[in-house]
Amino acid sequence: MYLTSEKKQELFQNHGRLKSATDTGSPESQIALFTHRIKHLTEHLKLNKKDHSTRLGLLKLVGKRRSLLDYLNKREIERYRSIIAELGIRK
């Protein structure tokens, strides 16, 4: 499994709003989790170019992350800018 529970807790602790492993619902922690999954699926698709079901899942994840980023952009621009800088997401 590419994403263990320890890795998830580490992501939530590093990028969550409360900086604890139990902060799983904040937009920052969700965006960090989606970004990790997107990077993993991108590497998979580089090797398996004809895996169309994974490509569809990747596009759905990118859309979910985009909607969370748009939400943060509308609500609190500083949190949006900080998560973009932390994760190195292009905008």
CATH of residue 15's domain is 1.10.287.10
* Residues 42 and 49: beta-carbon distance below 8 Å: no
**Res 22: pLDDT:** 78
What's the whole-model pTM score? 0.90
Number of domains in the chain: 1
Separation of alpha carbons 80 and 77, rounded Å: 5
pLDDT score recorded for residue 66: 97
The mean pLDDT value of the chain amounts to 91
Q: Find the length of the chain.
A: 91
Task: Report the pLDDT averaged over residues 58-68.
Answer: 97
Q: Which domain holds residue 32?
A: 5-87
Query: What is the reported pLDDT for 62?
Result: 97
Q: What is the pLDDT of residues 14-48, one digit of tens each?
A: 888 877 777 788 999 999 999 999 999 999 999 99
